[in-house]
Amino acid sequence: MELTIRNVSKSYANGVQALKNINLTVPAGMYGLLGPNGAGKSTLMRILATLQEPDEGSIYLGDIDVVKQKDKLRESLGYLPQEFGVYRNVRAESLLNHFAILKGIMNPPARKEVVQALLHKTNLWDVRRQKLGGYSGGMRQRFGVAVSLLSNPKLLIVDEPTAGLDPSERVRFLNLLCELGESSVVILSTHIVEDVSELCTRMAIINKGEILLEDEPLRATEELQGQIWRRVIDKEDLPELERTHALISTRLLGGRCVVRIFSNGNPGNDFTPAEPNLEDVYFSTMTGHNKQQAKQAREEVAL
């Protein structure tokens, strides 16, 4: 099972073109969609979830036409948006049972078995009788996953799932997604590079409605070997360095700036080689310093 997106575009009435000729092939497993706020990620996710229609293009999940066979797609779809409401005064087990009825699981013994299995799977069994208003952010996210899994989805879409989670909840939630990716297409839409680096076997970087890079995170990182350089400078020297070098990221450290630049050769000026990471891939692609590699990667995918 794979998801095929071809020539998908979407514009809004205010003239904003949210998506521009998107082409992606998403295999089973965890797939990361990286981009800043406003890049077009949520628009693409809503189209995949059949909540919006593209202006043009085609989308297939296996042999299911996502645009024309919405009801059939929804039978195989799980969707966890960035924000979703819950009934705060209802116990988790009761609400999950209610959603199971809405999903058509009418046989009480079968429904009980499904609800209990999902509460165990999402590590909510011990708090199943607690009201949702008392759940932490991570617990609510895991409850959302439990709801999305009621249909045993072949396509699971999660939009900015770890925003606002504390470190322990984030790890627990990402482990759950990784487990789900063993049997489904799971699309993780996020602006958090670390989430994609840890989980996803393939990824795409999107900005201003366009795919800038599509690759394997590990391969994209390896392709930057020898091209990332690091130096610690005083903050007042940053404007001059930005003018003379391909700056891709800065971090403050003890009142000074740790800068990373993109350069095909040794830039001199006390720069030292740095081991590239996925953040370097992301920032160098977003700033345009890695355009040639992005173009090459897209051509290889097309072949």
Q: Give residue 199's pLDDT.
A: 84
User: Among 113-122, 163-172, 231-240, which stretch is predicted with the lowest mean pLDDT?
Assistant: 163-172
In this prediction, residues 166-171 reach a mean pLDDT of 80
Q: Give residue 141's pLDDT.
A: 83
Does residue 294 have a pLDDT over 50?
no
CA distances from 191 to 36, 39, 63, 161, 188 (A): 5, 10, 30, 10, 10
pLDDT digits (tens, 9 = 90+) for 8-55: 999 999 989 999 999 999 999 999 999 988 899 989 999 999 999 999
Phi, psi of 132 (to 5 degrees): -65, -25
Residues with Cβ within 8 Å of residue 40, at least 6 apart in sequence: 10, 18, 19, 22, 206, 207, 208, 209, 210
Q: Which residue has the tokens 């195989």?
A: 76
Taking the chain, what is the end-to-end CA distance rounded to the nearest angstrom?
20
Q: Which CATH architecture group holds 3-215?
A: 3-Layer(aba) Sandwich (3.40)
- With b for 16 or more beta-carbon neighbours within 10 A and e for fewer, the 100-139 pattern comes to beeeebeeeeebeebbeebbebbbbeebbeebbeebeebb
70, 10 Cβ separation under 8 angstroms: no
Q: Where are the domains of the chain?
A: 3-215, 221-302
Pairwise CA distance, residues 36 & 161, whole Å: 14
pLDDT classification of 303: cutoffs 50, 70, 90: very low
Please give the angle made by the CA atoms of 10, 16 and 22, to the nearest 5 degrees: 35
Its pTM stands at 0.84
Residues with Cβ within 8 Å of residue 207, at least 6 apart in sequence: 35, 36, 39, 40, 286
Does residue 300 have a pLDDT over 50?
no
Show the tokens assigned to 66: 């996502």
Show the tokens assigned to 181: 């990716």
